[in-house]
């Protein structure tokens, strides 16, 4: 059942995310050309600001989800109902906290976006506020779908509503470029998706019901303890994910912020696609960790190393593809005037590699709890990111801001690796370090070979297609030559064979 649901999540995710990615590229181009740099830059920065405000969430979703895995494995519907009720009321409190944060930061907008007209800034800010706050009242039911590996049910509903949102935005951008109307349809479609999921939730989980909760329940179950420590993680991840656009807006102005936003649109869409693929495995990892019959030995260790290799294969492909495709695609999509330096792209590829290469490790870290174990690494990451962003901007411009993010991201990776090797994969730290050094060397070979080949290819859309082929074939072929003989690759082949067999059986009459 775990394998079947993981596969269903993956199939639905890939199809829907590809459609959304293509529609996102169309709407971004229309936004840039039909609304101008003031609105475009404001939307980029405000989106990152509200990502920053999400620290008010304290990581309550992560804290409760890892507890839900344990209760679901035990079949305790009463505890599941209790945790879902705690989650609902916690998110209502979060909505209130974000309202307060938004009001405070509204006073700082002239300093954050000094180069953009204030009426435009506040109009964009208000719309994003409505979207953010409404979401916290409506999205809580999705958690149980994720933890039971039924996220594909939400994905189907989201796909219909998101496609409708993009089509309406395209129509507004072409026929009547009004940002209030443009973003308003996005809010309405998001609300519609959440209401449909809420209606279905009552039918899909009849044993889960509303129960009264008090502050004492949060305290007695240790939720406050976990939230206090997880806040450090949340703050660090938010600084890592949101500071680049904000610092760029403060130091470099709306034009460079707009250009950065174009690159971020592509990477955010691709990251959303990659996240959905990796999230298809997250619930399965949680179930393995909390399965009473499993431990971090034998099969469980084999799963860990196989997932780690999968993360590397995915990360090396993503980093190589960005190196080969980012600049030529951006030039055709937006125009040469919107290009950022090649050095920015190289550093961006390194950051993507760091993120995706330890993604499965991050899934293990998330389900293990014990958030105090690596919180000092998270604090160091946030401080380094902010300090180095300002320090490196002077000599290196926007490339320096992103380099600070890479350094901070690496610190997070080290902390997560140490925590997992201490509490789950005991005695594996030395092997993990050796494996990552080998991965780094093969990544360098992959990227150098692919970039050298792509430098010989022509321009235009035909050249982009050929570069995509080179980025898809070369790193994967080289990685196969490097790793095909390993036991970790053998495990991945075995699992892939099992999936194909199950698909074949399903197709037989």
Q: Is 321 a residue whose pLDDT tops 60?
A: yes
In this predicted structure, what is the pLDDT of residue 259? 84
Query: Is 350 a member of any domain?
Result: no
Q: What is the DSSP string of 372-422?
A: TTTHHHHHHHHHHHHHHHHHHHHHHTHHHHHHHHHHHHHHHHHHHHHHHHH
pLDDT of 493-505, one tens digit each?
877 776 666 544 4
pLDDT of 277 over the 60 cut: yes
Which whole number is the average pLDDT over 205-231? 77
The pLDDT mean for the chain works out to 82
Q: Is the pLDDT of residue 184 over 70?
A: yes
**Average pLDDT of 238-258?**
75
pLDDT greater than 80 at residue 29: yes
b/e map of 286-304 (b: 16 or more CB within 10 Å)?
Answer: bbbbbeeeeebeeebebbb
Asked if the structure places residue 117 within a domain, the reply is yes
Q: List the single range of 226-230, 327-331, 371-375, 413-417 with lowest mean pLDDT.
A: 226-230
Domain presence at residue 440: no
Check whether 240 has a pLDDT greater than 90: no
Quickly state the pLDDT bin for 304 (edges 50, 70, 90). confident
- Band of residue 509 on the pLDDT scale cut at 50, 70, 90: very low
343 inside domain: no
Residue 507 pLDDT class (50, 70, 90 cuts): very low
Dist CA 365 CA 431 (whole Å): 18
Within a domain: residue 495? Answer: no
Cα–Cα distance measured from residue 431 to residue 414, given in angstroms and rounded to the nearest whole number: 14
Q: Scan for tokens 């394998």, then name that residue.
A: 3
Q: What is the pLDDT of residue 506?
A: 47
Structural domain for 395, as ranges = 2-294+358-424
* Higher local confidence (pLDDT), 336 or 252: 336
Q: Quick one: pLDDT at residue 377?
A: 87
Of 198-212, 249-263, 330-344, 378-392, where does mean pLDDT reach its minimum?
249-263
Evaluate whether residue 159 is within a structural domain.
yes
If DSSP codes are grouped into helix, strand and coil, which group holds residue 492?
Answer: helix
pLDDT confidence of residue 508: 46
The b-or-e profile of 50-87 (16+ CB within 10 A means b, else e) is bbbbbbbbbbbbbbbbbbbbbbbbeeeeebbbbbbbbb
pLDDT at 436 over 70: yes
pLDDT-based confidence at residue 312 (cuts at 50, 70, 90): very high
Q: pLDDT at residue 282 above 70?
A: no
- Contact (Cβ atoms closer than 8 angstroms) between residue 396 and residue 416: no
Q: How far is CA 9 from the centre of its chain?
A: 16
Asked if the structure places residue 324 within a domain, the reply is: no
What are the contacts of 15-20 at 24+ separation with CB within 8 A? 15/159, 16/155, 16/156, 16/158, 16/159, 16/162, 16/276, 17/269, 17/272, 17/273, 17/276, 18/273, 19/159, 19/163, 20/159, 20/162, 20/163, 20/166, 20/269, 20/272
Taking only the tens place, the pLDDT of each residue in 96-125 is 888 988 999 899 888 888 888 888 989 999
pLDDT at 367: 76
C-alpha angle 324-327-328 in degrees, rounded to nearest 5? 80
Q: Within a 10 A sphere around the Cβ of 216, how many other Cβ atoms?
A: 8
Instruction: State mean pLDDT over 261-285.
Output: 74
Q: Under a CB-based contact definition with an 8 Å cutoff, are residues 317 and 478 in contact?
A: no
Question: Which tokens go with 324?
Answer: 């080969």
Cα distance between residue 385 and residue 211, in whole Å: 42
**What is the number of alpha carbons within 13 Å of residue 213 lying toward its C-beta?**
23
Token pair 């955010």 is found at 268
Model pLDDT, residue 443: 95
What is the arithmetic mean of pLDDT over 66-94?
82
In DSSP notation, 190-227 reads: HHHHHHHHHHHHHHH-TT-------HHHHHHTTHHHHH
Task: Give the per-residue pLDDT at 383.
Answer: 86
**Number of domains making up the chain:** 1
Is the predicted pLDDT of residue 69 greater than 90, yes or no?
Answer: no
* Percentage of the chain modeled with pLDDT above 70: 85
Q: How far apart are CA 257 and CA 254, in angstroms?
A: 5
> What is the rounded average pLDDT of the residues 90-101?
87
Q: Is pLDDT above 70 for 376?
A: yes
Cα gap 77→302, rounded to integer Å: 31
Check if the beta carbon of residue 289 is closer than 8 Å to that of residue 367: yes
- Region 126-130: mean pLDDT is 91
Neighbours of 445 (CB within 10 A): 15
C-alpha distances out from residue 476 to 270, 298, 355, 428, 494, Å? 18, 28, 19, 26, 18
- Mean pLDDT for 303-326 is 91
Tokens of 180: 């209030």
Percent of the chain with pLDDT over 90: 23
What's 282's DSSP letter? H
CA dist 254 and 251 (Å) reads: 10
Please check whether residue 302 lies inside any domain of the structure.
no
Confidence check: pLDDT of 89 > 90: no
Q: Among 31, 78, 14, 65, which Cα is nearest to 287's?
A: 65
């Amino acid at each position: 059942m775990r394998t079947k649901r993981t596969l269903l999540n993956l199939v639905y995710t890939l199809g829907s995310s590809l459609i959304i990615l293509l529609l996102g590229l169309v709407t971004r181009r229309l936004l840039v050309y039909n609304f101008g740099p003031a609105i475009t830059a404001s939307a980029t920065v405000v989106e990152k600001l509200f990502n920053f405000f999400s620290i008010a969430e304290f990581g309550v979703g992560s804290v409760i989800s890892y507890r839900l895995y344990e209760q679901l494995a035990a079949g305790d519907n009463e505890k599941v109902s209790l945790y879902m009720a705690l989650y609902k009321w916690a998110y209502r409190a979060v909505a209130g906290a974000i309202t307060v944060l938004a009001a405070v930061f509204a006073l700082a907008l002239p300093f954050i976006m000094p180069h953009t007209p204030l009426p435009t800034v506040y109009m964009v800010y208000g719309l994003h506020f409505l979207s953010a706050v409404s979401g916290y009242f409506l999205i809580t039911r999705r958690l149980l779908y994720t933890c039971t590996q039924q996220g594909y049910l939400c994905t189907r509903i989201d796909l219909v509503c998101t496609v409708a949102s993009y089509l309406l935005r395209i129509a507004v951008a072409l026929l009547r470029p009004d940002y209030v109307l443009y973003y308003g349809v996005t809010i309405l479609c998001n609300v519609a998706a959440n209401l449909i999921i809420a209606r279905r939730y009552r039918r899909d989980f009849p044993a889960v019901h509303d129960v009264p909760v008090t502050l004492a329940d949060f305290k007695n179950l240790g939720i406050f303890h976990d939230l206090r420590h997880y806040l450090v993680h949340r703050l660090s991840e938010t600084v890592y994910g949101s500071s680049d656009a904000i610092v760029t807006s403060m130091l470099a102005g709306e034009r460079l912020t707009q250009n950065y936003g174009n690159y971020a649109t592509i990477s955010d869409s691709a990251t959303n696609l990659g996240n959905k693929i990796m999230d298809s495995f997250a619930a399965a990892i949680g179930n393995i960790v909390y399965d009473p019959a499993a431990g971090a030995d034998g099969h469980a260790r084999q799963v860990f190393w196989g997932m780690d290799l999968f993360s590397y294969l995915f990360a090396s492909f993503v980093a190589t593809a960005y190196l080969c495709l980012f600049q030529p695609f951006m030039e055709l999509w937006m125009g040469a005037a919107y290009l950022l330096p090649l050095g920015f792209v190289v550093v961006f590829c390194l950051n993507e590699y760091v993120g995706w290469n330890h993604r499965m490790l991050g899934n293990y870290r998330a389900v293990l709890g014990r958030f105090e174990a690596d919180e000092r690494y998270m604090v160091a990451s946030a401080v380094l990111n902010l300090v180095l962003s300002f320090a490196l901007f002077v000599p290196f411009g926007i490339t320096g801001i992103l380099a600070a993010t890479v350094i901070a991201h690496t610190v997070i990776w080290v902390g997560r690796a140490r925590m997992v090797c201490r509490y789950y994969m005991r005695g594996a730290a030395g092997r993990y370090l050796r494996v990552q050094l080998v991965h780094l060397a093969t990544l360098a070979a992959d990227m150098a070979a692919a970039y050298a080949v792509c430098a010989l290819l022509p321009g235009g859309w035909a050249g982009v297609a050929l570069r995509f082929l080179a980025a898809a074939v070369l790193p994967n072929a080289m990685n196969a030559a490097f790793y095909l003989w390993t036991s970790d690759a053998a495990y991945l082949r075995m699992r892939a064979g099992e999936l194909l067999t199950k698909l074949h059986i399903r197709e037989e009459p």
